[in-house]
Structure 1
Amino acid sequence: MSVACVESRGRGMAEKAEAIAKKKWAAEAAVNSPISMLDDGCLMHIFSFLSPIPDRYNTALVCHRWLFLACHPRLWLRVERPIKTTAEPGVFPTLEAAISAARPGDTILIAAGSTHIASSIQIKKTLCLIGAGMNPDDTVLTCPRGADSALEFLSTCKIANLTIRAELGCCLLHRGGRLTIEGCVLQCEDNPLDYLSCPIRSTATNPVKGQLHGVTVARTRIEGGAKAVCTSGALVLQHVRAIYSRASVFFWFEVGEK
């Protein structure tokens, strides 16, 4: 083995050891910091102000105690397939079950690494749905053929870091409230009936007093379908911006009143 090879290998091992030491030091510093002197209730209240991804997710990596508190069902519900234990509170085998059990304002974290079936699931309360992977391709919701949409929104909601695929129909059906789509991938699969497919369809009617309807899309890939967005009622597509990367097109736009 050459001297250069030995030196390179030695540097690699040293860098790895340094990274492990820094991670251990950061964990110990967090555990011994004044904030860790607070009781569980206070810490959980503080964690509730963090954005679920990435802040609260990163908080869970600090130590076992912070993992327990950051993943507590009071802060968010989880969808896991296969479910590890039915006795664990706040964990559900399907997205539909989690949405049914959720309270207005809850955040649902959808496990990465598996495909979740979403067939015309109606959401009538304010919720936030977030994929648990490092990027949206890690968490996939599939809408099977025969369903009008994967998710149907009738209230103000946010979805982030998810891939949603529709075999036929639309990925997201917006019927009311304010819908925010951030960092997602919306895909309509190729088929002879492409003219029936649309990643986003908004049918919101004129808003009632005190309630505004609209869709905000940010940093989202949209693939397939006859149109990226189909609107009816009182809403139209506005403020479109697109950025072309080597393999994809990312969109920013709003759907709002005329």
Structure 2
Amino acid sequence: MEEEDKSNYKSRNLKRCSDKIMKKSCSAPINNLDDGCLMHIFSFLSPIPDRYNTALVSHRWHYLACHPRMWLRVDRSVKDLSEPGVFPDISTAVSAARPGDTILIAAGGSHLASNIQIKKPLCLIGGGELPDETTLTCYRGSDSALEFLSTCKLTNLTVRAELGCCLLHRSGRLTIDGCILQCETNPLDYLSCPIVSTARSCKLITSPVKSNGDSVSVLQTRIEGGVKAVLTKGDLALQRVRVIYARTNVYFWFDVDHQ
């Protein structure tokens, strides 16, 4: 009985503390702002983890931080597809997205990604805690899972290609952060490559900022399979390579940029 009373006492204290925190957050001066102002502020936060954590503050903040204007969602488990901002597959979400949108891909299971062209600036994020919880699968017969013709970012995702390349970079600045790129091992693995860049910088770049051209940046990403990690054409070349071996995995940092 004493142990039960102690546990009940602790649970009551925890509830009081949580209620106090919620009251303080709700009475904070920032909550005097209207919804439009708060959403504008939230738009400057990185989707994960900052905007995700923001959604945990209160019901109002959850509604605003998860509003379709803030990011689109790909979730096959959602039955009511009439809900704004929710799509059954990646291709549909990419078509509906506006330049600068963030697409959150639900964790669990495998999402089909086959020759999906991305011609506008977008950010694709895996919804799991780890990249292997959100997998994009490209089946044999496709050139690539995702094809980039604009400045884009991929983070917290696993991209798996059976035969071909995981990511095909045509133009723009592509950033791959905290992902896993896998090419299936088979007798034709010399045809497989995690990253292929066909960008050619023959155009005149008047800006002195180097990053305005075509480039690929890889950060803390695991690469598996394929004879080569990167295949480039034009005058892009592999630069600034860093490798860290952590337990059973090897993580890479490198840039594909102009020589």
Aligned to 1:225: 226
Where do 1:66-145 residues align within 5 Å? 66-145=61-140
Change (3 A) 1:192 1:20: farther
Instruction: Note the residue ranges of structure 2 that are not aligned, 5 or more in a row.
Output: 206-211
User: Cα distance, 1:208 vs. partner?
Assistant: 2.1
* TM-score in terms of structure 2 length: 0.90
* TM-score in terms of structure 1 length: 0.91
3-state secondary structure, aligned to 2:98: coil
Instruction: Note if contact 1:207-1:213 (Cα within 8 Å) is conserved in structure 2.
Output: no
Instruction: Note if contact 1:118-1:151 (Cα within 8 Å) is conserved in structure 2.
Output: yes
Distance in structure 1 (CA, Å) of the matches to 2:244 and 2:10 = 37
Distance in structure 1 (CA, Å) of the matches to 2:15 and 2:141 = 50
Name the aligned partner's letter for residue 36 of structure 1.
Answer: N
Distance in structure 2 (CA, Å) of the matches to 1:7 and 1:165 = 55
Name the aligned partner's letter for residue 249 of structure 1.
Answer: V
User: Cα distance, 1:8 vs. partner?
Assistant: 10
Change (3 A) 1:43 1:142: same
Of 204-213 and 229-238, more deviation after overlay is shown by 204-213
User: Cα distance, 1:85 vs. partner?
Assistant: 1.4
User: Cα distance, 1:15 vs. partner?
Assistant: 7.5
Aligned to 1:59: 54
Where do 1:114-193 residues align within 5 Å? 114-193=109-188
* Sequence identity (%): 64
Of 115-124 and 131-140, more deviation after overlay is shown by 131-140
Distance in structure 2 (CA, Å) of the matches to 1:13 and 1:173 = 57
Does structure 1 residue 195 correspond to structure 2 residue 190? yes
**What's the C-alpha RMSD, in Å, of the aligned pairs?**
2.2
Change (3 A) 1:254 1:15: farther
Q: Which runs of 4+ in 1 moved over 3 A?
A: 6-28
Distance in structure 1 (CA, Å) of the matches to 2:9 and 2:230 = 52
Distance in structure 2 (CA, Å) of the matches to 1:9 and 1:228 = 58
Q: Figure out how many residues of one structure are paired with residues of the other and give that number.
A: 253
Does structure 1 residue 252 correspond to structure 2 residue 257? no
Instruction: Note if contact 1:241-1:251 (Cα within 8 Å) is conserved in structure 2.
Output: yes
Instruction: Note if contact 1:81-1:114 (Cα within 8 Å) is conserved in structure 2.
Output: no
Change (3 A) 1:11 1:249: farther
User: Cα distance, 1:30 vs. partner?
Assistant: 1.8
1:68-92 CA distance string (max 9 Å, x none): 1001111111111122312211111
Instruction: Note if contact 1:216-1:255 (Cα within 8 Å) is conserved in structure 2.
Output: yes
Change (3 A) 1:20 1:245: farther
Of 27-36 and 160-169, more deviation after overlay is shown by 27-36
Name the aligned partner's letter for residue 229 of structure 1.
Answer: V
Instruction: Note the residue ranges of structure 1 that are not aligned, 5 or more in a row.
Output: 1-5
User: Cα distance, 1:111 vs. partner?
Assistant: 0.8
Distance in structure 2 (CA, Å) of the matches to 1:120 and 1:224 = 20
Instruction: Note if contact 1:107-1:129 (Cα within 8 Å) is conserved in structure 2.
Output: yes
User: Cα distance, 1:114 vs. partner?
Assistant: 2.4
Distance in structure 1 (CA, Å) of the matches to 2:144 and 2:85 = 26
User: Cα distance, 1:101 vs. partner?
Assistant: 0.6
Distance in structure 2 (CA, Å) of the matches to 1:18 and 1:250 = 44
